[in-house]
Each structure stands twice: as structure tokens, then as C-alpha cells.
Structure 1
Amino acid sequence: MTKLRIEDIRVDERIRQDYGDLRERSVELFAGAGGLAMGISNAGFRHVGLYEWDRDACDTIRLNKERNVAQVQNWPIHQCDVRDVDFTQYQGIDLLAGGPPCQPFSLGGKHRGFKDHRNMFPEMIRAVREIQPKVVLIENVKGLLRDTFAKYFEYILLQLSYPEIASKENEDWTDHLSRLERHHTKGHHEGLTYHVVFRLLNAADYGVPQKRERVFIVGFRSDLNIEWSFPEPTHSFDALLYDQWVTGDYWERHRVAKKHRPEMPDKLKKRIERLRGGLGLVQGAPWMTVRDAISDLPDPENEYDNVIPDHRFNPGARIYPGHTGSPLDEPAKTLKAGDHGVPGGENMLVKPDGSVRYFTVRESARLQTFPDEYHFSGSWTESMRQLGNAVPVRLATFIVKDIKKCLSH
């Protein structure tokens, strides 16, 4: 292995000509409908390459480019298989990001993990090796932390830490893991290395109106000598309870008359009483709820206004075991993409009378904190699939801004 030197990093001349100074440039793999990409743009990075193979997701990005949505206008989207891409053309950019397909590790999928042909972590690692970015950001499902995948998760982290120690031809991944472990424990490491950390984050803790737990992995290139940790939550469940049941400000803000307010949940009464005892127990702003996110939209069942795109009613919602919908006055349950058939068993609103209906595409986009000017291409099913796979824009923005702040100092 050749020891990495910053002065040796090659910058592709074509990218230099097209994009000028490469500071704060980013490349994203598995971009989907653009949630993470939009967060990265909001944080001040400029995309020099986005890669996604799904046609509907790419059509969504192309649609918003055509509509001149500000963050999307200059995104260079490539609809292709990342296995066919030579990433050395991007060598030396600042941020490499992506959410490798989550179905192999999803709690709602088939749980095949590393045996699944959709497992794209090897391609993510190859991109790190070829690009040598300053920072790597990976998002994935909570299921990646299951005991079943613990050994493979260790393998992912070690590959990110030492991307130049590539798998040999016909080498089993467990043998490769053993080589990485031996290298890791020897204590002195030259060449391309990263300081890697990970954390399970709940999007609701960062102002997203959805209880969505996802694993984020961040690696800073070791030669940068940057110390970084995940930013602390800005919102909390206790603050929401305080807002609803101690001050009542939540109901006043939404103009909900006392006779129309729900009963205080019995299971939360003791917790609420503790909160009454002292405001000091409350940390951060209140969790955002479904009502916070969609209350200004007309009811799609009887007040649909054609001026609002993606807000059409979709019939057929019903409750069944494991799929009970999201209450109006809590953050939504995790929006899901669906492994087969029509996605959306949990993508339902529970109305005050106890009945349910599917969230519209526009409502789901709000729950994922996409701006209203962002439109989605494809059928209801395909749009919901894109949204169920997306990274909440607000969460992505918050994390990447913190990363950028460290890079800028």
C-alpha cells in the first residue's frame, strides 16, 4: 500500500473545468428520490455526481430539475448501476454519501443481509477506496444492528476504516474480516484510513414529524485529525407532553377546543405528573406531530384542491395486526416502502373518530420534511415507495451542517 499524501490526490480535470474549486463538493450513491441529497445541498455542499438505478426515483429528480427547484437545479443525476462506475474521476472530493439498499437488513424485509444480491455495501466501500473523500456518510435501517448481522456490521466498519485492504479474489468475507481485524489490532496504520463512528438516531429527536430510527455511519479521513461526534437531539417527547398536557399550548396553537381534545393517555399520567413538577425536566423543543405537519392541508377525502400537487385521496386503508396507523397528535410511525405489493400498511392516519385513511403523497412528503415545491414522479405506489426509502431532509441537513462545520475549521 502507498501512504496517502494530500498533495498526491488527483483531481479529475473534467470535474475541475465543470465545477471549479472542489472544496465542499459531494458525491452520492443510491440517491433515491433525493432526501439525503437535498439535506446535503441545504448544508452547503455542491453535488458533482448523484447515482441511482431506479427509473422512477431518477424521474422524480429530473422532474424537479425541470421545475427549477432551487436545491436540485444543478444536480448531475446518473441513472445506472454503480457497479459499472469508475469512481476515480471524483478522487479527492470532500463528502461521499449514500444509503445502500436497506432491504437486505430491513426488519420489514427478508433479512438476507450479506447474502442478498441487493447488498451494495461492497460498492460503497469501493467508492471510498477510489474517491478517498474527506468524509463518508452512510445511512441505513435499524435492522443493520440486529444480532443476526453483528459480525457483518463489524465487517462494514472495518472496511470503512481501512478501505485499501480490499477483498482478494474468491476470498470469503469472513476471511477478509479476519485480515481486517489483524490489521486493526496491530496499532500502527499507514495509507488511507478513516476514523469511523456510528449512532442510531430517531428523526423525531431532530424536528422530523416521524418516529424513524436509522443508523448513521460517519468516517473522517484520519490525516485530517478532526474530532467529531454526532450532534445532540434538539427535540424531545417530554417537551411534547409538557406542551400538550401541562401548558396546553399545543391545543391552543392548533385551535382545538377543549371538548374536542383527546383524553390524557393513562399510561403517560405518571410521566406527565413528574413534568408538572418542574420545567427543568424538559429538554429541547417538542416533538413535531402529524397535526403539526399536515393541519393546513385540506382533507383529501372531501376538500381536495387541484392546486395542491400529490394530495389525492387513495382509498382502501384498513387496520390489521401490526398495521394500525399513526395518531394525529404524535409523530408519525415510520413510513415504509413495502417489500412487495402495495406499500403503506403503516402509512395511514388515524383520525380522531378512530377511522383510518392512507396518507397522501404530499402528506407523506411533509412527514419526510420535503418542501412543498418538490414533486414526485410515478404512481401513488411508486411515489410512496420512494418516500418510504428516503432520508428525512431536515435530519440530513442537521447532520451534514455539523460535518461541514468541522471541515471548514
Structure 2
Amino acid sequence: MTIHAASSAPEPSEAGTSIELFTGGGGLAWAMHEAGFRHLLAVEKDGRACQTLRLNRAKDHEDGSFDPTSLDDKWPLIEGDIHAANFKPWEGKVDVIAGGVPCQPWSLGGAHKGYDDPRNLWPELFRCVRETRPRAIIAENVKGLLRPSFKPYYEYIIRELSAPFIKRVDGEDWRDHDKRLIKALEDDGDDPTERYDVQYTLVNAADYGVPQARWRVFVIAFRKDLGLVEWDFPKPTHSELALLHSQQSGEYWKRHDIKPPADAEQEALPLPPPDGKLPWRTLRDAIWPGEKEYRGLRLPEPLEPLEAKLEHPEWLHHFGWPGAREYPGHTPNELDRPAKTVKAGVHGVPGGETVLRRDDGSIRYMTVREVARVMTFPDHWRIAGPRGEQMRQLGNAVPVVLGRVVADSVAAALRPSLGTAESPSGAI
């Protein structure tokens, strides 16, 4: 089988060291790697996701082994419950702790138990911070974390991340712990290396070049002694308005060498002036890009389901799947808009998120590789398990392009102190 590379970008230069928590199928981990962070450790409980990580960049961690010394080295992987992981061996060695904290307690598709859910793993992230004392933290979660019903606990999360060394006592109700945090944060504390400046931002991945409408919360923290309180989340680079302008002007259709829809002129309503941003990337941009488009090669139409017992001879995870349907509440993706939010699909049948409508009006299921394109994984990324498991890993991941935007910005903020006493990596 020929494996097509997503790009020919040169290997990144090192930006620092990192530990990846809740690594899943590797979206944020790969983004951090591309930004130049050398993973000292990755932690993941799910067996299929660990298989995926091993198929790509990971190897099992062995106690007492040496840490990776270059970006070419494999990522040491702990497969198991994060509660059992000991991070103390990496104290003072880690620049960034990063992870997509499991979303089930907060997701609109979940049971909405929030802080009462045993899958709430924010406390484990705080423990990792206490044991390693990183310079920065990157945490990603679903939009549901900002629901009014969870707002008090969300504010508590931010305060606990601001002062993670003020530990919650065994048996202490989180509300009582929060009162102690509020009081403690009234002053700057005695040790700035034990306090963090924290920001959170709700973003749509489409606004950063991901061909998918996907709202997520990013929580970014810098250790207070670094003086990075003025850091701000990267500004959006893409917009719906720019997409509409490119479609109305014909540039979009010309780029794809297709005729505009028959009703395009009738829908050509006056638009506000251009905003200077790039157009939102569409599903068509992701799977059938032009010669000069980002992500490179066009994916061929998948083999028909009856012929798809084996992988496509030239593409990983690109095979047809039978039974696509359309009905109320289950509608296909349109090619010339960003795709719908890719979901893990563990709470019932999704709303058509993995179905697309062809130009001739027919519909079919998207292939795993097409969904991976929508999540902006490189084409060489192997995903373990049967189709359902592959889709679940993709739905739980951080889009690589969005993760890269965040990782690059954090790397740039930390760079002035790289190679100094404040930086454990000593990177240049």
C-alpha cells in the first residue's frame, strides 16, 4: 500500500519539553510535536487509543528508562489509569503539560454529571502540575463546560489551576475548597512558581482553518514567575464571511474547477465588506483540494462497500461503508460548508456527521480517512481498531491544526526563557 504524506514540511526545531495527559488518539500530542515539543511522557487509559499511539510515535514507558533526547525519539507511553501514574520523576524537567481533559462529564451528549462524575479528571491534571511544576499548561474541553449549571464549578477549576498547590483536603467538599482558594488568591502568594496566570477561551475550530464547525474551550496557564499575564489567545484567521465572498465572486468554484450551483445567483445577497481573513475551509477543501491547496492530494471516491473488505490500495482507512440514510435530525454534510462537529458516537446515532452529499445529490458515509482529514490528522496517521473504534477516537481528538495554533503560540511565549534557569528543556 502506498501511504501518502500530508505535507513535506521540514522537521520542527525543539521548542521545549512536554507531558501529554489524556492523550487519546494523539491529535493534540501530534500538534505539540509539530510545534517542536519533545514528549517526555504520554498517558492514556483506552487500549485502542494506545494501539493507535504505538502505530505512530509511541512506545511503552519503562520505569528507570532515560527520557527522550530528541524529537525523533518515540514518545514514552503509560497505558493505564492516570490515578496510578507517578509524575514526580519529571519534576523540574517539563515545560508544558497538555491534554484534552475527558469531556463526558461536561458534554451536551453525556449524562451532565459534571463534578459528581467519576470521570471528572481535572483533579488529576492539578496533581500532575503539583508534581512536575511546568512552565505552562494547555487544557482542552467541550463547550458544555461553560453551561450555566456548571459555571460555579468551572470558576472553581480556574481558581484551582491558578493556585494548584493549595490542595483539596481528603473528604473536603469542593465548595469549601473553593472558599479557601478565593481567600488565598486575594494576594499573590509567597512563591510565584506555585501560582499560574490562567486564561480560558471558547473557540470555533473553523475560525482557525479546520474544515469543521467545532466549538471547544481552551484553558491556558503560565507560571506566574514568567510574567506572561499579558499573553492572549491567537486571533481567528478564517471566517464564514470570507468563504461567502469567495463563493459569490466565483473564486471558490474556479479553484475547485466546478460550476457554481444553479441557485447560486439567486442566493447572491449583498454581503458586508471583506474582513481580511481567509475563507473557512470546507469539506470539499478537505477531501478534494486543488493542486495548491492545504493538505495536498485529492482523495479518490472510495471503493463500493461490497468491494471494501480490504483497504483502498493507495490510501489508509479509505473504504466505503453501506447504509447511509437521510431523515429528520440525520442530514448529510454539505460539501461546500465546513463539516459538522465530528462526534465520538458513544451516545447513540449521530445526526449525520459522518454522511456527505455528493454533487449529484446522492449520499454516502464518509470514510475514516475523510473524517481524519476533517480532524486535520496527517494522511500517514494510522488509527487502530474497527471502523466504529476509529471514528470514536477521531471524535474525541483535538483537531491537529487547532492544536498547532495553540502550541505554536505557547512556544513563542516561552521561547525567551528557553535555555535559561527557568527552562527545564534548555532548548535553543
Aligning the two structures, in what range does the TM-score lie when normalised by the shorter sequence?
0.7 to 0.9
The counterpart of 1:293, out of the listed 275, 281, 286, is: 286
1:225 is aligned to 2:218: no
Aligned CA RMSD, in angstroms, stands at 2.2
Q: Matched residues in 2 for 1:110 and 1:128: separation?
A: 28
Paired residue type of 2:133: Q
Q: Matched residues in 2 for 1:291 and 1:66: separation?
A: 32
1:52 is aligned to 2:54: no
Match of 2:196 in 1: 194
Q: Matched residues in 2 for 1:263 and 1:235: separation?
A: 25
* C-alpha displacement of 1:115: 1.1
Match of 2:319 in 1: 312
Q: 1:377 to 1:72 in 2, by over 3 A?
A: farther
1:323-364 C-alpha deviation (Å, 9 max, x unpaired): 323110011010000224566742221233444322111001
Match of 2:422 in 1: none
Match of 1:313, SS state, is coil
Q: Identity percentage over the alignment?
A: 48
Q: 1:132 to 1:232 in 2, by over 3 A?
A: same
Alignment size in residue pairs:
375
Match of 1:357, SS state, is strand
Aligned pairs (5 A) from 1:321-400: 321-340=328-347, 345-400=352-407
Q: Matched residues in 2 for 1:199 and 1:262: separation?
A: 40
Q: 1:71 to 1:312 in 2, by over 3 A?
A: farther
Q: Matched residues in 1 for 2:58 and 2:155: separation?
A: 42
Q: Matched residues in 1 for 2:381 and 2:339: separation?
A: 20
Match of 1:134 in 2: 135
Paired residue type of 1:183: A
Q: 1:383 to 1:306 in 2, by over 3 A?
A: same
1:85 is aligned to 2:78: no
Alpha-carbon contact 1:209-1:290 (below 8 Å) kept: yes
* C-alpha displacement of 1:297: 1.2
Match of 1:119 in 2: 120
* C-alpha displacement of 1:109: 1.3
Q: Matched residues in 2 for 1:217 and 1:343: separation?
A: 27
Alpha-carbon contact 2:15-2:36 (below 8 Å) kept: no
Match of 2:78, SS state, is strand
Q: Matched residues in 2 for 1:340 and 1:90: separation?
A: 37
Q: 1:344 to 1:307 in 2, by over 3 A?
A: farther
* C-alpha displacement of 1:72: 7.8
Alpha-carbon contact 1:343-1:385 (below 8 Å) kept: no
Q: Matched residues in 2 for 1:90 and 1:66: separation?
A: 18
Q: Matched residues in 2 for 1:104 and 1:265: separation?
A: 46
Match of 1:83, SS state, is helix
1:177 is aligned to 2:170: no
Paired residue type of 2:173: D
1:123-174 C-alpha deviation (Å, 9 max, x unpaired): 1111111111000000000100001110110111011000011111110111
1:40-64 C-alpha deviation (Å, 9 max, x unpaired): 0011110000000101001011112
* C-alpha displacement of 1:390: 0.5
Paired residue type of 2:283: V
Alpha-carbon contact 2:343-2:353 (below 8 Å) kept: yes
Alpha-carbon contact 1:300-1:311 (below 8 Å) kept: yes
Match of 2:237 in 1: 234
1:243-262 C-alpha deviation (Å, 9 max, x unpaired): 1112x11111111124xx25
Match of 2:259 in 1: 257
Alpha-carbon contact 2:210-2:376 (below 8 Å) kept: yes
Q: Matched residues in 2 for 1:363 and 1:207: separation?
A: 16
Higher helix share: 1
* C-alpha displacement of 1:108: 1.3
Match of 1:137, SS state, is strand
Match of 1:26 in 2: 18
* C-alpha displacement of 1:265: 8.9
So what's the TM-score if we normalise by structure 1? Answer: 0.87
Q: Matched residues in 2 for 1:91 and 1:109: separation?
A: 35
| Stretch deviating more after TM superposition (122-131 or 27-36) | 122-131
Alpha-carbon contact 1:342-1:381 (below 8 Å) kept: no
Q: 1:359 to 1:145 in 2, by over 3 A?
A: same
Alpha-carbon contact 2:38-2:71 (below 8 Å) kept: no
1:155-206 C-alpha deviation (Å, 9 max, x unpaired): 110110000111111101111111111222x223223000000001111111
Alpha-carbon contact 2:333-2:352 (below 8 Å) kept: no
The counterpart of 2:28, out of the listed 36, 44, 60, is: 36
Alpha-carbon contact 1:350-1:357 (below 8 Å) kept: yes
Match of 2:215 in 1: 213
Match of 1:106 in 2: 107
Alpha-carbon contact 1:25-1:47 (below 8 Å) kept: yes
Gaps of 5+ in 2: 1-13, 60-69, 289-297, 417-428
